[in-house]
Structure 1
Amino acid sequence: MSKWCDIGVNLFSSQFDSDRAAVVERAALAGVAQLVLIGSDIDESRQNIAFCQQHRGCCSTAGVHPHQAANVRPDWLIQLQALSRQAEVISIGECGLDFNRDFSPRDQQQLVFAEQLQLARQCGKPVYLHERDAFTTQLAMLKEHQISHGVTHCFTGDVQQLKAYLDLGLYIGITGWVCDERRGEALQQALRYIPSDRLLLETDAPYLLPRTMQPKPKSRRNEPAYLPVIAQMVARLTNRTMDELATLTWQNSQLLFGFQPSLSTAYA
């Protein structure tokens, strides 16, 4: 069986409250041997870390999502610095800018983002990036802070944006968006420009259930066990076999995040 890494799982979404551990078990049975749990605020990052300490094959990001930027406590950065030193934390984020929903004021988003970019550089860990309708500002901030180590999570942009991120040295995370015949065409075109050593796969579970999945779960909930469905589409569009795609994306995840052997071989 091919071995996969899902670099984006929102495991502490309320949609997983009833069967969180079982979700991880089903992923392992499907060959998804490594899960990166996404921390969108300080509390969720802590929950992720505690879960990872009890479940092999899991690691976590730690950060503050732009939606949560307006809600940070005065000592949030001190807390995040402490979390960044935990062995289970392999990336800083999910951080970035979201000018689509503007749940937090833009100046506050930029302030919180800048602090996390600086922290990532200080601790030598990759950034885990979110961006929506804020490409120009985000790119400028990445350049200002000389960011070259990280991943653009759930990339849905066009070829021009893709090349700009690649020029910085970033990896690209591809989700089930690529399986959507309604809105995924631009991503399908951009996919062909991603070098083999920069490609990563993610579900963003429980969101973005692949539209190509048959039959679809009644809950309409995505989960990491469905990562091979996304991989099938990516393999077809890039003229690769599933084994080839599994090997290169697994290697890419190890290179970017520097997984410890005890983590990366948990289900080998």
Structure 2
Amino acid sequence: MAEPTDGFDDFLPQALRFRAAAPLVDIGANLTHESFARDLPAVLARARAANVTTLILTGTDREHAEQAVAMARRHADAGLALYATAGVHPHDASRWDAGLAAAMADLHRQPEVVAVGECGLDFNRNFSTPAEQERAFEAQLGLSAQSGKPLFLHERDAGRRMREMLHAWRDDIGDAVVHCFTADRDTLFGYLDLDLHVGLTGWLCDERRGHHLRELVDEIPLNRLMVETDCPYLLPRNLPAKLKGRRHEPALLPWIVREIAHWRGIDEAELAAATTRTARAFFRLPMADPHPPATRHEDS
């Protein structure tokens, strides 16, 4: 039985209660973050009311991947479809060892886990050295090839090296998505040339740093484009009302879809349907929404 949804109505102002025109898949939701511990049932209820019907919970290390799997199982009756990814983020690549590799391989055998990752390269902060990052990433490329599951990728300031490593493995791995893409045109085209998918977040909604992405959204084929919140991070800056605190959540995904649709010059419903179709095919999910539509919130 689903847990109570206390706080459902008092977190999002009425102006932010926006129901998407078609069911959405949030491909990157960090719901194991501590900020969701106090009101997760209400967060899930708000997502469902916003027509965000499927959530991919990001597993960035063993602990959070295991938590994501447990969360997907525990909330299987919340009126949503919840799945998980399992990987080691490049920030934590220094921790990679044989034991962690075995734990990840076991997680990838769980039916709730639909992708290997979040993994990749981050030469912006280098919390782990580039050599450590490449070693862990190479191993996880191998786990993706072994499991047959797609890759959920992270990359910052490492586009050239990322492309080199992916190119070397391209015949062995299947689908891969560069989540939270924020890089430049050349990097985007390099990823598209490798037949990769692209995930866009609220970064596009930020007038301070997202301008270049607005010029690129039309270059991404709809059958390669997916949408995500990356919550609780990257709260969109196009919201028409202030939010308590700065925590992002899946119920706000329709605002990101609205922004992308605007810059592509297409209807929101068309973009929503296309990104959901792409995400369901990518993660090998049922192509139809497994739950009846919710009607608690009206369209804004």
User: Would you call these one fold, judging by a TM-score over 0.5?
Assistant: yes
> How far apart in 1 are the matches of 2:35 and 2:181?
23
Structure number with bigger Rg: 2
Higher helix share: 1
**What is the aligned partner in structure 1 of residue 226 from structure 2?**
200
Give how far 1:211 is off.
0.5
Amino acid at match of 2:67: Q
State whether residues 148 and 170 of structure 1, in contact with CA within 8 Å, keep that contact through their aligned partners in structure 2.
no
What TM-score, normalized to structure 2? 0.86
1:228 equivalent to 2:254? Answer yes
Asked whether the equivalents of residues 33 and 267 of structure 1 are also in contact (C-alpha less than 8 Å), the reply is no
Deviation string 1:147-203 (CA, Å, 9 cap, x unpaired) is 451100000011111111111111110000000111101111111100111110000
Query: Aligned AA for 2:212?
Result: A
Q: 1:148 to 1:83 in 2, by over 3 A?
A: closer
Query: In 2, Cα distance between the equivalents of 1:254 and 1:22?
Result: 25
Is residue 60 of structure 2 the alignment partner of residue 34 of structure 1?
A: no
| 3-state SS in 2 of match to 1:75 | helix
Is the CA contact 2:59–2:85 (under 8 Å) kept in the aligned structure 1?
yes
What corresponds to 1:171 in structure 2? 197
The answer for the alignment partner of 1:133 in structure 2 is 157
**Distance (Å, rounded) in 2 between the aligned partners of 1:259 and 1:42:** 23
Matched length? 267
Give the counterpart letter for 2:115 in structure 1. Answer: S
Give 2:178's match in structure 1, choosing from 152, 159, 182. 152
Letter in 1 for 2:25: C
How many angstroms apart in 1 are the aligned matches of 2:286 and 2:174?
A: 22
**Does residue 76 in structure 1 map to residue 76 in structure 2?**
no
Q: What is the letter of the counterpart of residue 46 of structure 2?
A: R
Letter matched to residue 56 of structure 2 = V
Per-residue deviation, 1:22:
1.8
Counterpart CA distance in 1 for 2:281 and 2:259 is 24
2:84 maps to which residue?
A: 60
State which drifts further: 49-58 or 59-68: 49-58
* Aligned-partner Cα distance in 1 for 2:66–2:123: 27
CA distance in 2, matches of 1:266, 1:59: 15
Q: Name 2:16's counterpart in structure 1.
A: none
Alpha-carbon distance in 2 for matches of 1:180, 1:148: 32
Secondary structure of the 2:42 match is helix
After superposition, give the CA deviation of every residue in 1:224-258 in whole Å (9 maximum; x if it has no partner).
Answer: 00000001101111111111111101100111000
- Whether the 8 Å contact between 1:148 and 1:169 is mirrored in structure 2 is no
Partner AA of 1:58 in structure 2: L
* Matched letter for residue 206 of structure 1: P
1:104-143 to structure 2, matched below 5 A, reads 104-143=128-167
Runs in 1 of length 4+ with deviation above 4 angstroms?
A: none
Contact kept in structure 1, 2:148 and 2:174, CA below 8 Å: no
Match of 1:17 in 2: 37
Kept after mapping to 1: 8 A contact 2:118/2:152: yes
Measured in 2, the distance between the counterparts of 1:139 and 1:11 equals 29
State the Cα deviation string for residues 205-235 of structure 1 (Å, max 9, x = none).
Answer: 0000000112121211100000000011011
Whether the aligned pair in 2 keeps the contact of 1:148 and 1:168 (CA below 8 Å) is no
TM-score (norm 1): 0.96
2:291 paired residue number: 266
Are 2:281 and 2:287, in contact at CA under 8 Å, matched by a contact in 1? no
Paired letter, 1:224: P
Report sequence identity in percent.
Answer: 43
Task: Name the CA distance, whole Å, in 2 between partners of 1:94 and 1:45.
Answer: 10
- Alignment partners' CA distance in 2, 1:168 and 1:9: 25
Distance 1:106 1:224, change over 3 A: same
Q: Distance in 1 between matches of 2:291 and 2:112?
A: 14
Query: Do 2:149 and 2:174's aligned partners in 1 also have CA atoms closer than 8 Å?
Result: no
Task: Confirm whether residue 209 of structure 1 aligns to residue 235 of structure 2.
Answer: yes
